[in-house]
Structure 1
């Protein structure tokens, strides 16, 4: 080996070992490296020593690591917009309507209605989250994504519960853009449709609900079934995990309280409480009975066993308190009348469980643990899923009630002074928590249910048509709701 090559080898050996050996000048390997270098090039020893001294002086200084430059991917936004249009929205689309419903978890007409409502919104001042969906040119003069691409990204994130960049290959949309689409879509939908699809029951709705519930379950005057659901929180802060974790779950969750009917329409939703709470804590925090405490709830007149009642109620499970507006079942009972009542009550209370199952089946994002870091953004997603769930229920022709502008939502508030408001609140609160009224209403329902036939519930006739679904219902939901609970595996033809 030439002297030059030996020198290079020695210098390389020194450079590799100098970081570990510079503090230990008596190390044998260090001495051998210096001897090897000095044997073929004595002047190099001085350079090595100077290098070691510079390293000693620089010891303790922070070495800045240069950041990798941002990479640019040439995405074909216009080409992917044409492909999306040809696949689903053209006159002769590649995929028919049933494939659209299967992949978007809603009908094509409802999707176009939402997109049209966002684009046609023109009430000044236009919020930024609605203005985000208007197509513009970027700094290079090219058009950005259109409303179909942005809404498709948002809805598929809700429907499939996957990462924002999962559809980059199909839509050519980056992760940050997809996340903005989801956030702005949720805000826009809540802004446009929450007054209609997340409204409280008005007097017209109450009367229709009472008549339908009497036909279906035999419970006259029932306003729905109430229960709570947990949504896991994957990125919960470590300092909050004890507050948001319940023993039977073992991981942080956020709770949703909801009231639903047999048509699975969710009339009340309260979300955002820590998962360590139980159903009673959530009931005390929610605004379900605020109108009742203010004596502004819609009138609810019905008759049970020949007795007249004027206050609606909800079916609940055993953990809820014995209030006058809640009808609970029994744990263990041997009386035949109570057994029949227990069977009817538990069967009717499954409406809320059915609504939770369909909600999670339609929107897998709330079935999987939430990846967001802020509760406000998680609330935004949950309320959007509830609203879209009600929109899909109405679009399927299965909703009991529709919005009527002629019917006021509640009674007009009375003008009371402070002492009158306090007295009214205390009186209504006492009536709400009256256990005697609770047992009196349940005892009358036991007699009422005992006089009904064992097969009182009306079955759905498939030949009656979709318009008669609210009048004639069946235990299973329609085939469409059964599909959303299945796994969406790829078709063989794809």
Structure 2
């Protein structure tokens, strides 16, 4: 009896203990549930009155008013003249409602809708001005390019220079890192292939190839020769050293293939004529290099890493920078060719892809023998022009400083030295020939 009574008392104590624990647990969770069900205080900060309209009016007072405070510094701030800036603003506002002022429900100006978003602005620039400022050269443009390049560089039939530029890509997708990465760059880049003339005008731009490609692979994708293949190009003939050629050419560096529309330099010239040609060709080809430098200096977005995941958006940014670059050159009066909207272009009927005419045109562009013949004729022409320099053509070129008065002295001295060296070389060659004949 004693053992059974003790076990019953123990069971009662355990039941009381468990009941008390359960009661405390239920009370605890009820309290927690009550706390969470209460309304939480609003932790968001109160909106700040930033007074955007006052800042906008201050910007107008500083730069755009008739008696602006910083009227002299406008070009330094916006990289263009006030006239050109207002022209762009007016064209975009008149065509796209996105860039127009709007009123909200309170009757105030809605700045959030009128703000120029970067990618939308670049896309609008490409749509409005792309046809004019990224146009192909017409027949009159080609004649003017021939004339100016002959007077400035001594190259007959020169259309411009072609080269590549790399734009670093910071926010690249990790899956694309391999194809946009190259060993000579620290981060992925995207390639821009461009053609520029002496006035730094960019006539052709092809942006988007992966940086794993080199200049040769990019040439295979370049659409600049499609018109030649299809028979739609405006071919303007010229003559060099008494030989007639069908169309103009571009100056390139050594990595490009020897096409009939390219003129490359010599790797290791071994005579006076080739040395002079190498010096002149590399000097003239700096036009495109200087164009890339001005483009990066003018638009800082091209000097930092690209901040978008999509290549198409980056294309709009790059083409917009190029279009604005050409617009600034035209506004400052530095261009060789002016746009004539009333010019009537000849209607050229092309050929279909894969036909016999298409293959003939493509073989003509890739003719290496024609490349060698053209370069040999240009070597003779440049050497003769160096002995008797042509008169400089005068056109509005404010990009470069005028030559010093003492520059003629150095030119004459160089010419006399080259003539004396050429005479000594000819005499040495005659002696060698006599020795060979005697043997």
TM-score by length of 1: 0.71
How far 1:144 sits from its partner (Å)? 2.2
Matched with 1:95 is: 70
Aligned partners of 1:137 and 1:143 also within 8 Å: yes
1:253 and 2:189 matched: yes
Of 108, 125, 128, which aligns to 2:82? 108
Matched with 1:469 is: 396
Matched with 1:287 is: 223
Aligned partners of 2:200 and 2:291 also within 8 Å: yes
Question: Over residues 335-378 of structure 1, what are the superposed CA-to-partner deviations in whole Å (9 max), with x where a residue is unaligned?
Answer: 11000000000000000000000000000101111111211111
Matched with 1:17 is: none
Question: Over residues 235-263 of structure 1, what are the superposed CA-to-partner deviations in whole Å (9 max), with x where a residue is unaligned?
Answer: 00111111101110131001100000110
Of 127, 134, 139, which aligns to 2:105? 139
How far 1:91 sits from its partner (Å)? 1.2
How far 1:299 sits from its partner (Å)? 2.2
Of 119, 128, 133, which aligns to 1:197? 133
Matched with 2:59 is: 84
How far 1:298 sits from its partner (Å)? 1.0
1:363 and 2:299 matched: yes
Alignment of 1:38-437 (within 5 A): 46=21, 50=25, 72-97=47-72, 99-121=73-95, 130-145=96-111, 181-409=117-345, 411-414=346-349, 422-437=355-370
Question: Over residues 16-39 of structure 1, what are the superposed CA-to-partner deviations in whole Å (9 max), with x where a residue is unaligned?
Answer: xxxxxxxxxxxxxxxxxxxxxxxx
Aligned partners of 2:98 and 2:114 also within 8 Å: no
Change (3 A) 1:423 1:225: same
Q: State the distance in 1 between where 2:341 and 2:204 align.
A: 20
Matched residue pairs, number? 378
Q: State the distance in 1 between where 2:58 and 2:365 align.
A: 58
Aligned partners of 1:106 and 1:392 also within 8 Å: yes
Matched with 2:377 is: 444
Matched with 1:25 is: none
Q: State the distance in 2 between where 1:48 and 1:360 align.
A: 75
Aligned CA RMSD, in angstroms, stands at 3.1
Change (3 A) 1:474 1:328: same
SS of structure 2 residue aligned to 1:273: strand
Change (3 A) 1:400 1:68: farther
Point out where structure 2 has 5 or more consecutive residues left out of the alignment.
1-16, 30-39, 404-439
Q: State the distance in 2 between where 1:392 and 1:325 align.
A: 29
How far 1:116 sits from its partner (Å)? 1.6
Aligned partners of 1:459 and 1:475 also within 8 Å: no
Question: Over residues 350-407 of structure 1, what are the superposed CA-to-partner deviations in whole Å (9 max), with x where a residue is unaligned?
Answer: 0000000000000010111111121111111000000000000111110000111233
Change (3 A) 1:474 1:143: closer
Aligned partners of 1:315 and 1:328 also within 8 Å: yes
Aligned partners of 1:458 and 1:473 also within 8 Å: no
Aligned partners of 2:230 and 2:350 also within 8 Å: no
Question: Over residues 309-351 of structure 1, what are the superposed CA-to-partner deviations in whole Å (9 max), with x where a residue is unaligned?
Answer: 1211000000000000000001112211000000000000000
Which structure: larger Rg? Answer: 2
Matched with 1:36 is: none
Point out where structure 1 has 5 or more consecutive residues left out of the alignment.
1-41, 55-64, 122-129, 146-172, 478-494
Matched with 2:3 is: none
Question: Over residues 219-243 of structure 1, what are the superposed CA-to-partner deviations in whole Å (9 max), with x where a residue is unaligned?
Answer: 1111110000000000001111111
Q: Which region of structure 1 is more displaced relative to structure 2, 447-456 or 196-205? A: 447-456
SS of structure 1 residue aligned to 2:120: helix
Q: State the distance in 2 between where 1:320 and 1:334 align.
A: 22
TM-score by length of 2: 0.79
Q: State the distance in 2 between where 1:52 and 1:194 align.
A: 73
Q: State the distance in 2 between where 1:338 and 1:260 align.
A: 25
